[in-house]
């Protein structure tokens, strides 16, 4: 399978680079879903478009009726200014594929090709799910609501995420149980009262107050939680003020909370608001705080994990299957799939120092070693075949 995958490697690279050059944000993946649909049509799959706005589904019917396995890739980019200098950098100002979704899409199209070539041997169905807006506002849940897991009913679902955490191409990482943190988004407005920058006693400086809030909230992690409990509170953006010599009357900050255990997910917002309330009172400010529903934890199913292990072993050998030491604090909206169907999301490694593929996800210079793509396509294809075999054996 790997050999076959390497034969289409160039095509996958070509597709990936095309998508990388024209990144589209969540729910705006028009060109990308066009490309995906066209390719799936060529492979003779049953294609459904416009699922959750820009989502695309390709259905491969095997040689006989049987279980249905789904494979999922995300298509959206991020509002980040690309700082790479290679030949296929983003041509769209302010947008970038900085999380490998271009690779996920190219890999899944590769898997579609490999599996449609083997469809005589497949005693079931394979659904290729290309979802929008993984980075936000979310594509998995809308697609589930639009019935993507039905007709035919999906029995198991798999996906991968490219990683540049330090391991090179030819390796994957795996873990049973919770593999991502649950998350919450928060937005805070700190409200002072404006005035001339030379007369601080006549106004209330919201920028200084927010500085104290930002540094105080670090103590939630460092001082209030059990050190063995993993949690993160990060501020992503801050904006406030009109001019260098005018005291800002309002500052807006947005951020994210991550926690592995549910208890922590519920209590951290309360701690955060308590701190903001106290610091604002101390600095004579008002505030507005808004928490929005985030993502639950992604929980890998044990059986699904075993299937991935076996399938990957057949391609890269047991030595190259690493165990994740810890869940990631990142969120993945694949978690909604994992809530309803036994699933497994695994890491596909693509770190490469020589090729400057050393930056973390969401970094403006993020890139991944494209040689990982045939491995991804081969492993996903093998997983689909093995999963169908397994489910057929179970039912007989």
Contact residues toward other proteins (CB under 8 A) are: 78-81, 135, 181, 183, 185-187, 196-200, 205, 207-208, 210-215, 218, 232, 234-248, 251, 253-256, 258, 328-331, 359-364
Of 93 and 120, nearer to other proteins (C-beta) is 93
Smallest gap, in angstroms, from Cβ of residue 162 to other proteins? 13
What is the C-alpha separation between 364 and 179, in angstroms, rounded? 25
* Minimum distance, C-beta of residue 372 to other proteins, in the bound complex (Å): 19
What are residue 349's phi and psi, to 5 degrees? -80, 145
Q: Is the peptide bond before 358 cis (omega within 30 degrees of 0)?
A: no
Closest distance of CB 131 from other proteins, Å: 18
Q: Taking the mean position of all CA atoms in its chain, how far away is CA 255?
A: 17
Residue 113 φ then ψ, to 5°: -65, -50
Nearer to other proteins, 87 or 292 (CB): 292
Pick the catalytic residue: 24, 29, 102, 134? 134
Scanning the structure block, which residue is given the tokens 């990142």?
A: 330
3-state DSSP call for residue 91?
coil
- Contact (Cβ atoms closer than 8 angstroms) between residue 323 and residue 346: no
Question: Whose Cβ is closer to other proteins: residue 258's or residue 265's?
Answer: 258
Burial string for 356-376 (b: 16+ CB within 10 Å, else e) reads ebebebebebbbbbbbbbbbb
Contacts of residue 377, defined as CB under 8 A and 6 or more positions apart, other chains included, come to 5, 8, 12, 107, 108, 110, 111, 113, 114
Q: What Cα–Cα distance (Å) separates residue 388 from each residue in 13, 66, 71, 157, 174?
A: 28, 8, 12, 11, 20
Identify whether the C-beta of residue 329 lies closer than 8 Å to the C-beta of residue 153.
no
Token pair for 176: 């049973």
Which of 43/235 has CB closer to other proteins?
235
**Which one of 24, 29, 74, 76 is the catalytic residue?**
76
Residue corresponding to tokens 């308590």: 274
Quote the least distance from Cβ 219 to other proteins, whole Å: 12
Q: How far is the CB of 201 from other proteins (least distance, A)?
A: 9
Residue with Cβ nearer other proteins (226 or 237) = 237
Cβ nearer to other proteins, comparing 20 with 95:
95
Q: Are 164 and 350 in contact (CB under 8 A)?
A: yes
Shortest reach from residue 143's CB to other proteins, in Å: 21
Contacts of 291 (CB under 8 A, 6+ apart): 184, 185, 186, 269
In the complex, least distance from residue 249 CB atom to other proteins, rounded to whole angstroms:
11
Separation of alpha carbons 206 and 219, rounded Å: 21
User: Quick check: is 76 catalytic?
Assistant: yes
Residue 281 in tokens = 């009172």
CB of 261 to other proteins, least distance (A): 15
Of 235 and 289, CB closest to other proteins: 235
Which is nearer to other proteins, 51 or 77 (by Cβ)?
A: 77
SS3 of residue 224 by DSSP? helix
Partners of 280 in the beta sheet?
none
DSSP β-bridge partners for residue 217: none
Q: Is residue 134 annotated as a catalytic residue, yes or no?
A: yes
Q: Which residues are catalytic?
A: 76, 134
């Amino acid at each position: 399978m790997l050999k076959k995958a390497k034969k289409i490697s160039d095509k996958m690279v070509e597709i990936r680079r095309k998508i990388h050059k024209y990144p589209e944000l969540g729910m705006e993946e028009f060109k990308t879903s066009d490309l995906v649909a066209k390719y799936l049509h060529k492979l003779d799959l049953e294609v459904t478009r416009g699922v959750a706005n820009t989502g695309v589904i390709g259905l491969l019917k095997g040689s006989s009726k049987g279980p249905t396995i789904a494979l999922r890739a995300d298509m959206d980019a991020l509002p980040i200014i690309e700082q790479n200098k290679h030949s296929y950098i983003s041509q769209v100002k302010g947008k970038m594929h900085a999380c490998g979704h271009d690779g996920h899409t190219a890999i899944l199209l590769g898997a579609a090709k490999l599996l449609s070539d083997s469809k005589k041997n497949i005693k079931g169905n394979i659904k290729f799910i290309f979802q929008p807006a993984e980075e936000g506002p979310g594509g998995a849940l809308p697609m589930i609501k639009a019935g993507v897991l039905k007709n035919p009913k999906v029995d198991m679902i798999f996906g991968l995420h490219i990683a540049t955490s330090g391991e090179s191409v030819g390796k994957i990482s795996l873990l049973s149980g919770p593999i991502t943190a649950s998350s919450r988004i928060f937005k805070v407005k700190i409200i002072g009262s404006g005035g001339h920058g030379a007369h601080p006693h006549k106004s209330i400086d919201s920028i200084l107050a927010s500085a104290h809030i930002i540094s105080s909230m670090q103590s939630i992690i460092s001082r209030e939680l059990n050190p063995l409990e993993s949690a993160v509170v990060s501020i992503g953006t801050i904006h406030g003020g009109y001019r260098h010599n005018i005291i800002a009357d309002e500052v807006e900050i947005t951020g994210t909370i991550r926690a592995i255990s549910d208890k922590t997910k519920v209590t951290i917002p309360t701690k955060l608001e308590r701190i903001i309330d106290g610091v604002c009172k101390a600095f004579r400010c008002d505030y507005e705080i808004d928490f929005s529903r985030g993502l639950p934890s992604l929980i890998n199913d044990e059986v699904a994990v075993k299937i991935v292990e076996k399938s990957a072993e057949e391609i890269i050998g047991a030595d190259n299957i690493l165990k994740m030491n810890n869940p990631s604090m990142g969120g993945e909206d694949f978690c909604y799939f994992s809530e309803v169907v036994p699933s497994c999301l695994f890491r596909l490694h693509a770190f490469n120092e020589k090729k400057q593929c050393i930056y973390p996800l969401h970094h403006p210079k993020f890139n991944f070693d494209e040689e990982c793509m045939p491995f991804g396509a081969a492993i996903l294809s093998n997983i689909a075949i093995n999963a169908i075999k397994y489910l057929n054996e179970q039912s007989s």
